[in-house]
Chain A
Amino acid sequence: MTYEELLTQTALADEQIIVMTAENRALVRNLPGILGKRFIDTGITEQTMIGAAAGLALRDRVPVVHALAAFLTMRAFEFVRTDVGIANLPVKLSGFIPGFLSDANGPTHQAIEDISIMRGIPNLTVFAPADEDDLIKMLPEIWASDDPAYTRINTRQTGYEHTPFEIGKAEVVAEGSDVTILTYGLLFEQALIALEFLRKEGLSVGLINMRSLKPVDEEAILNAASQSKLLVTLEDHFLTGGLYTIVAEVLLKYYSTARVLPIALSEKWFKPALLPDVLQHEGFTGKQIAEKILGYKTRYQQPPVLTPQFSE
């Protein structure tokens, strides 16, 4: 099932759902014809779209709103914080091309502080699915919740079949005594590759798909910290405020500590290019991740990375 199919099915079953977009129609192309007046395109007005979504939610609607993640979370930030956050309205934000998925667009389009700023808003929940299968398993719970939510939309096909989703729970793919990689979003694909290479090198390796970043699965983080000699936080996000910070907050909260290797974007935007080249250039391929953890080069062959379709 695709994002659009799921949204169509959900909106047809629930009259309260309103689909909105700030003229980003890539994943909602067919909805105007299907939903009629319950599809609202406000044009290139992220702020007004969010304010209007708050107004619709005051009338007991559940608006599912769409824009590029960078503009949804930053251009409209104060509207999300002030109109959705303070009022605690069930507005569901779908951010397109978050993180590395903005590939060749350039730094204007790079949402790599979105997790940090969205989770800083009281009441707002934050989610980052690993791929389309994960996305389709997560969204029904996210949309059915009474909370406002921000979701990093990720429709990549990985062939991985995820476990059922529960808000606030991570997906523990594997446990390991040497290393546990904690990640979210499209880097899950690369983490799976790194997992395989590290195991070939004889390490006991765990992997956790964090999925729900707020509320976060504290137990999964604490278990990994107690079971593994090293935690790796892997994310296409600034080092500040993302998963590395979340892990640090959880460890401190429970008077715990761990050796943590953060793999993130430290004080920099990434170099724009097509996704496979971005991953290679920035050091985020599965092979490069494994080698960072090992501390030495390997002879393993990095499998090709699927280039996403352009979806403005």
Chain B
Amino acid sequence: MHQNNYNDKELEAIALKVRAHIIRMSTGGGCFTGASLSAVDLIVYLYGRFLNITQANLNDPERDYLFLSKGHDVPALYGTLAELGIIHKERLDNHLSIDDSIYWHPNTRIQGVEFHSGSLGHLPSVAVGVAMDIKICGGSNKVVCILGDGELNEGTCWEAMLVANAYKLDNLIFVVDRNHFQANVRTEDLIPLEPLADKFEAFGASVKRINGHDFNALHQAFSSYPFQEGKVNVVIADTIRGKGLPSIQERADRWFCNFSAQEVGQLLLELHGHDTTSLTSETLIVR
């Protein structure tokens, strides 16, 4: 089955374009800019080099599955789907339009989205069900589920880990977008997660921890899939919230952003290496 096989340079170029899409979606109502920017490289890598998902095989029963459990990082997914030709780029202009379905969380009206999310801690179990069926069928599809680190507060993530371990789902890969932030504060200041790898290992998983913005490191980790026979794979990807935009990077108050049109223009310049933007628009509190 066909799959993309972009090299690191090509992946970087795609990721830059995806970041620009996210910035353009961060106005006229806004979106979860910071949390989307941390997940970009992960999502671009997975579609660009690891998963056999392309426009041609979206309904093929042998395709791999990607579930975005974190959900609010969906601009990163839509930007990637647009850059890879799974949805039309112009469609991103419909962000938040009543006439389309490009809203703040993923939904299956958008081609390429396997399942809706938004309520945290749901897709680990849905991914477990899909991975179970692939095992029953004797298939070789891979199932990736991207989780937020704040999402790991939800008990059902760990419940799903128990069940995945019991059923030896080594075709299942949980990827944690470890950007170290909950919605409003740093994870370690609210509900500490470290030592996180130890927690997953104690649940029976085989764990790799890498820099989630380094395509070479991502490839090193994912190319050893399955990490260990009979064990659930976990990748903890250390990332930076707001990666690519120094003016919002790692700022607790820049979770959900609704920039003015002028700011979007400046941020696009900032993304391409120009000076840091001075932002005046307020951050909306959505949660």
> A residues touching B (Cβ–Cβ < 8 Å)?
18, 37-38, 40, 42-43, 45, 47-59, 61, 63, 78-79, 82-83, 86-87
Contact A58 B136 (CB under 8 A): no
Q: Which residues of B contact A37 (CB under 8 A)?
A: 135-136
Contact B132 A47 (CB under 8 A): no
> 6 tightest A-B contacts by CB?
A55-B129, A51-B125, A52-B129, A59-B133, A55-B130, A55-B126
Nearest Cβ on chain A to B125's Cβ, whole angstroms: 3
Contact B163 A42 (CB under 8 A): yes
Cα–Cα, bound, A55→B114 (Å): 10
Contact A52 B126 (CB under 8 A): yes
Contact B129 A58 (CB under 8 A): yes
Closest B-chain residue to A91, C-beta based? B129
Nearest Cβ on chain A to B118's Cβ, whole angstroms: 8
> B residues touching A (Cβ–Cβ < 8 Å)?
61, 108, 114-116, 119, 122-137, 156, 159-160, 162-163, 166-167
Q: Which residues of A contact B123 (CB under 8 A)?
A: 51
Report the tally of A-B residue pairs with Cβ distances under 8 A: 92
Besides A47-B159, A48-B128, A55-B131, 13 new A-B residue pairs in contact (Cβ under 8 A), listed by A number? A43-B162, A43-B163, A51-B122, A51-B123, A52-B132, A54-B125, A58-B126, A58-B129, A59-B133, A79-B156, A83-B115, A87-B115, A87-B116
Contact A51 B129 (CB under 8 A): yes
- Pairs A–B under 8 Å by Cβ, sample size 6: A48-B163, A51-B160, A55-B125, A55-B128, A59-B129, A82-B119
Q: Which residues of B contact A54 (CB under 8 A)?
A: 115, 125-126, 129
Cα–Cα, bound, A56→B159 (Å): 17
| Main DSSP-derived SS at the B contact region | helix
Q: Which residues of A contact B124 (CB under 8 A)?
A: 48, 51
Q: Which residues of B contact A43 (CB under 8 A)?
A: 162-163, 166
Contact B163 A79 (CB under 8 A): no
Q: Which residues of B contact A50 (CB under 8 A)?
A: 125
Nearest Cβ on chain A to B148's Cβ, whole angstroms: 17
Closest A-chain residue to B123, C-beta based? A51
Contact A45 B159 (CB under 8 A): yes
Cα–Cα, bound, A45→B132 (Å): 16
Nearest Cβ on chain B to A146's Cβ, whole angstroms: 17
Q: Which residues of A contact B136 (CB under 8 A)?
A: 18, 37-38
Cα–Cα, bound, A79→B154 (Å): 13
Closest B-chain residue to A61, C-beta based? B133
Cα–Cα, bound, A86→B122 (Å): 13
Cα–Cα, bound, A37→B167 (Å): 10
Q: Which residues of B contact A83 (CB under 8 A)?
A: 115, 122, 125-126
Assuming the contacts A43-B163, A59-B133, asked whether A52 and B115 have C-beta atoms less than 8 A apart, the reply is no
Closest A-chain residue to B128, C-beta based? A52
Assuming the contacts A79-B122, A87-B116, asked whether A56 and B129 have C-beta atoms less than 8 A apart, the reply is yes
Cα–Cα, bound, A87→B109 (Å): 11
Most buried by B among A51, A53, A54, A56: A51
Cα–Cα, bound, A38→B132 (Å): 10
Nearest Cβ on chain B to A59's Cβ, whole angstroms: 4
Nearest Cβ on chain B to A50's Cβ, whole angstroms: 7
Cα–Cα, bound, A82→B127 (Å): 15
Nearest Cβ on chain A to B134's Cβ, whole angstroms: 8
Nearest Cβ on chain B to A53's Cβ, whole angstroms: 6
Q: Which residues of A contact B115 (CB under 8 A)?
A: 54, 58, 83, 87
Most buried by A among B119, B123, B132: B132
Cα–Cα, bound, A87→B137 (Å): 23
Q: Which residues of B contact A48 (CB under 8 A)?
A: 124-125, 128, 156, 159-160, 162-163
Q: Which residues of A contact B122 (CB under 8 A)?
A: 51, 78-79, 82-83
Q: Which residues of A contact B163 (CB under 8 A)?
A: 42-43, 45, 48, 52
Cα–Cα, bound, A22→B115 (Å): 23
Assuming the contacts A83-B126, A87-B108, asked whether A55 and B133 have C-beta atoms less than 8 A apart, the reply is yes
Q: Which residues of B contact A86 (CB under 8 A)?
A: 116
Q: Which residues of A contact B162 (CB under 8 A)?
A: 43, 45, 48
Q: Which residues of A contact B114 (CB under 8 A)?
A: 58
Q: Which residues of B contact A45 (CB under 8 A)?
A: 159, 162-163
